[in-house]
């Protein structure tokens, strides 16, 4: 059990410390909204795509064997989505709250917290597997988010056609998806390995991605908002922190996953609410304050849930 606890601390606490550094820097006035926005955009547009691209290109992972993991991830996402929808329809009255609640339950922060924790746990092999998983599930996340947030409309021009167009545009212009598709195509073609200046530059950008993203995530936390939770935000946070990981473990075991594959599924699903959930809720007329509270609360407490879950799974020899 001691080894399992050390494993959990090793994979989660570096992320927590980097986020704490972001909070500290924000409190001292060393970083502000402008820096956070610019740095986050830099990470999303350049650093994370390099990390994903070279993780896939350099790996020797058999991606055909990941079909079971991806199928399990899709099923977990759909179960959380429809479960959240049924709960919201019965227990949450305000349409502006319903979609935000559901999104908080099913949509996790795979690109930053998930990948960073997987990197700590499994290194380059885990990153490669996590990158493929993320590429597929990110598309599903965007589609489901538009569906659940469509209960409210900000203007007459906000129609199903405009929303569908927005989803398609997001998918085809998403730097992370472009990087993953490019990596798959490169590996499929009889091309020489990437080396030299290009690979070195890519490695440098990739090395910046996760630490800077975690610092920005910490600097973005509004502690005051996090401590003033409404009933709805607490319910959604429980869904993200407690229910989602349990569903992931159950489905993973049902699909026969173990080792790194079960670990990737658990860590991806158990991650806090995605930062994009706030942006999309605000853009589509949802309760943005509720979205911010869910994001802040789960960003902190999901990390402890991930540590506890990882320790238990490790002690049982499952991951």
Mean pLDDT (10-residue bins), the chain, 319 residues? 80 86 90 87 88 83 80 97 95 89 94 89 89 86 84 59 74 82 86 88 90 85 67 91 97 94 96 82 78 84 91 91
Phi and psi (nearest 5°) for 195? -145, -175
The pLDDT of residue 263 is 95
- Domain of 154, in residue numbers: 2-315
Query: 138 vs 61, 73, 135, CA distance in Å?
Result: 20, 11, 6
CATH label of the domain that carries residue 203:
1.20.1530.20
Query: 299 vs 97, 138, 150, 278, 292, CA distance in Å?
Result: 20, 18, 25, 13, 10
| Total number of domains in the chain | 1
The answer, as to whether pTM is greater than 0.85, is no
Q: For residue 260, which of 137, 134, 130 has the smallest C-alpha distance?
A: 130
Q: How many CB atoms neighbour CB 312 within 10 A? A: 16
The pLDDT of residue 250 is 97
Q: For residue 77, which of 265, 220, 307 has the smallest C-alpha distance?
A: 265
Burial class of residue 128 in the structure, from the number of CB atoms within 10 Å of its CB (0-12 exposed, 13-18 middle, 19+ buried): buried
User: Can you give 151-174 as a three-state secondary structure string?
Assistant: HCCCCCCCCHHHHHHHHHHHHHHC
The pLDDT of residue 277 is 82
The pLDDT of residue 253 is 96
């Amino acid at each position: 059990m001691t080894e399992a606890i050390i494993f959990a601390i090793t994979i989660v606490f570096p992320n927590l410390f980097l986020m704490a550094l972001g909070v500290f820097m924000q409190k001292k006035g060393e970083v502000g909204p402008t820096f956070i926005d610019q740095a986050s955009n830099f990470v999303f547009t350049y650093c994370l795509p390099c990390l994903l691209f070279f993780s896939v290109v350099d790996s020797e992972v058999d991606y055909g064997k990941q079909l079971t993991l991806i199928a399990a991830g899709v099923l977990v996402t759909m179960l959380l989505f429809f479960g959240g929808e049924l709960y919201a329809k019965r227990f949450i009255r305000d349409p502006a709250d319903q979609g935000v609640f559901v999104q908080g339950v099913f949509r996790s922060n795979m690109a930053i917290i998930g990948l960073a924790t997987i990197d700590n746990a499994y290194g380059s092999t885990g990153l490669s597997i996590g990158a493929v998983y993320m590429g597929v599930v990110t598309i599903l996340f965007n589609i489901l988010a538009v569906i659940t947030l469509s209960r409210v409309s900000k203007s007459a021009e906000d129609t199903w056609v405009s929303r569908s167009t927005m989803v398609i545009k997001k998918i085809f212009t998403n730097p992370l998806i472009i990087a993953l598709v490019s990596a798959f195509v490169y590996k499929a073609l009889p091309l020489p390995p990437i080396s030299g200046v290009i690979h070195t530059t890519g490695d440098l950008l990739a090395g910046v991605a996760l630490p800077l993203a975690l610092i920005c995530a910490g600097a973005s936390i509004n502690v005051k908002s996090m401590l003033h939770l409404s009933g709805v935000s607490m319910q959604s946070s429980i869904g993200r922190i407690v229910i989602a990981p349990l569903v992931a473990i159950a489905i993973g075991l049902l699909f026969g996953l173990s080792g790194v594959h079960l670990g990737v599924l658990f860590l991806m699903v158990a991650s806090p609410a995605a930062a994009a959930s706030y942006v999309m809720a605000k853009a589509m007329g949802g309760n943005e304050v509720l979205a911010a509270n869910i994001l802040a609360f789960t960003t902190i407490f999901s990390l402890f849930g991930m540590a506890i879950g990882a320790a238990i799974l490790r002690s049982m020899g499952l991951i």
